[in-house]
Amino acid sequence: MSPKRGDDVPPPPVAGEWRLRFGTSEAAKGWSELCAEAPGNARRCFESLRADPLSTRDPDRQHRLRGRLAARVFGGVELPQREYEVTAGGRVRYLVDEPARTVRFVYASPRHPKDTDG
């Protein structure tokens, strides 16, 4: 999704930080909603993923998905899919492209994704 007039300007990654990009238009829209509803938590998510999207320090909040959700093809390449719990219901799902040091948001919403509902 290309930036347009009125969009926020994201800070560039510096000193070993990861680049965060939207992988889908829906994720871009959902991220805006999530930021409006929980700006502090969304900022912590942003900073955590920018610093270490593969962190295992808090597995309840940030973890790799399992089963059929463990990976997703993006740009013809299968990448591991992870999730960050921003709020009780709000989630960000992202793909980690280690060689490019890029994180791609593929789902973001203040609502829990339905594909994990039992």
Domain boundaries, the chain: 19-111
Topology of 19-111 in CATH? YaeB-like fold (3.30.2310)
- H-type alpha helices, the chain: 25-37, 39-51
Residue 65's pLDDT band (cuts 50, 70, 90): very high
Pairing state of beta strands 19-22 and 102-109? parallel
User: How many angstroms from the chain centroid is the CA of residue 48?
Assistant: 10
Q: What is the pTM of this model?
A: 0.92
In this predicted structure, what is the pLDDT of residue 40? 97
**Per-residue pLDDT at 92 exceeds 60:** yes
Q: How far apart are CA 89 and CA 111, in angstroms?
A: 5
Q: What is the pLDDT of residue 1?
A: 58
Bridge-based pairing state of the strands 102-109 and 71-74: unpaired
Residue 9 has pLDDT above 80, yes or no: yes
User: Could you tell me which residue, 68 or 5, shows the higher pLDDT?
Assistant: 68
For range 36-47, the mean pLDDT: 96
Residue that wins the pLDDT comparison between 94 and 1: 94
Task: Tell me what pLDDT residue 53 has.
Answer: 98
Mean pLDDT of 56-83: 97
Residue 100 in this model has a pLDDT that exceeds 80: yes
CB atoms within 10 A of CB 88: 9
